Chain A
Amino acid sequence: MNFTIRHARSCDCEHIMRLIMELAVYENMSEQVKITSKELERDGFSNHTFFKCLVAEVPEEHQTKEGHTIVGYCLYFYTYSTWEGCVIYMEDLYVMPEFRGNGIGKAMMCRIAQIGRQSECVRLQFSVLNWNKPSIEFYKSHGALDLTEKEGWHAMRFEVAAMEKLAQMTGATEHKNS
């Protein structure tokens, strides 16, 4: 099947949001989705961007029943390792179920690796849910290491309430800009 991988544009945000919701449902976490296409536009396509995105598109003759031609996306941003330097972080990689098996997911991941290399990144990092065996096998087949298993890294998070509490405690310390 013919497909193209291209950089997302602001006008793609509604489609990216559609696919974000589909992936959240697949991961049994749809109730956790709190943003809309408006936040995606603001945060990905304005002066201060927090992420970039690739989309996978099929020709009109392969569009979905609902008439969509965007069938996959890969959201990424840059992070940093104090040991290795620049890192490219693949936050989400998703292809609609009926379009899998055509190399679309792999093509997007390869493109991320290439973008990372062009930016002199030495690592491509991401997370995957431990029950998602098909994805884990797919990634491992391309050389991915599971750092949680191998080195014992655990992902930690402060959610909104805990974060706000911490933010409010900064006034108690002496703080000045350099």
Chain B
Amino acid sequence: MKYTIRHAGPQDCREIMRLIVELSVYEKLEEQVNITHKELEVDGFGENPFFKCLVAEVPEDKRTKEGHTVVGYSMYYFAYSPWKGRSICMEVLYVMPDFRGQGIGKALMCGIAKIGWDNKCTRLQFVVLDWNKPSIDFYKSHGAQNVTEKEGWQEMRIDDNAMEKLAQMAPKI
């Protein structure tokens, strides 16, 4: 099946939001989605972007039943390892179920790797849920290592009230 991988623009935000919600349902965490396409527009395409995005698009004759041609996306941003230097983080990689098996997911991931490579990054990092065996197998088949298993890294988060509490205790700079 023909498809193109391209950089997302602000006009793609509604489509990206549609796919974000689809993925959250797949991960059984849909009640955690608290943003809309408006936040995506500001945060990804404003003065100080927090992320960038690649989208996968099929031709009109292959569009979904609902008429969509954007069938996958990968959101990424740059990060830093104090040991290895620049790294690129793949926050999300998602392809609509009906469009899997065509190489689209792999093409998106390779696109991220190339962007990272071109920017002198030495790592491509991401997280995956431990029960998501198909995804884990896919990543491992391309050389990914599970650093939670291998090195013992635990992902931690402080949010909402706990974060506000800490912020209020901050010393003046």
Contact = CB atoms under 8 A, between A and B. Distances in A.
Interface in A9-49: 20, 23-24, 29, 32-35, 39, 43-44
A44 B86 CA distance: 10
Main secondary structure of the interface of A (DSSP, over half): mixed
A83 B161 contact: no
A153 B121 CA distance: 23
A159 interface: yes
Nearest to B165: A143
Nearest to A84: B34
A163 B173 contact: no
B125 interface: yes
B82 A35 contact: yes
Contacts of B169: 106, 110
Contacts of A86: 43, 50
B116 A148 contact: no
A50 B80 contact: yes
A47 B123 CA distance: 21
B34 A83 contact: yes
A110 B156 contact: no
Given A83-B34, A110-B171, A170-B113, A156 B152 contact: no
A51 B77 CA distance: 12
Contacts of A177: 6-7
B50 A79 contact: yes
Contacts of B170: 107, 110-111, 113-114
Interface string B51-91: 10000000000000000000000010111111111100101
A166 B158 contact: no
Nearest to B127: A153
Given A111-B170, A144-B158, A151-B129, A79 B142 contact: no
A82 B156 contact: no
A144 B156 contact: yes
A97 interface: no
Interface string A117-161: 100001111111111000010010011111111011111111111
Interface of A: 4-7, 20, 23-24, 29, 32-35, 39, 43-44, 50-51, 75, 77-86, 89, 91-92, 106-107, 109-111, 113-114, 116-117, 122-131, 136, 139, 142-149, 151-167, 169-170, 173-178
Given A116-B163, A154-B127, A158-B139, 4 more contacts: A107-B170, A145-B156, A148-B155, A157-B124
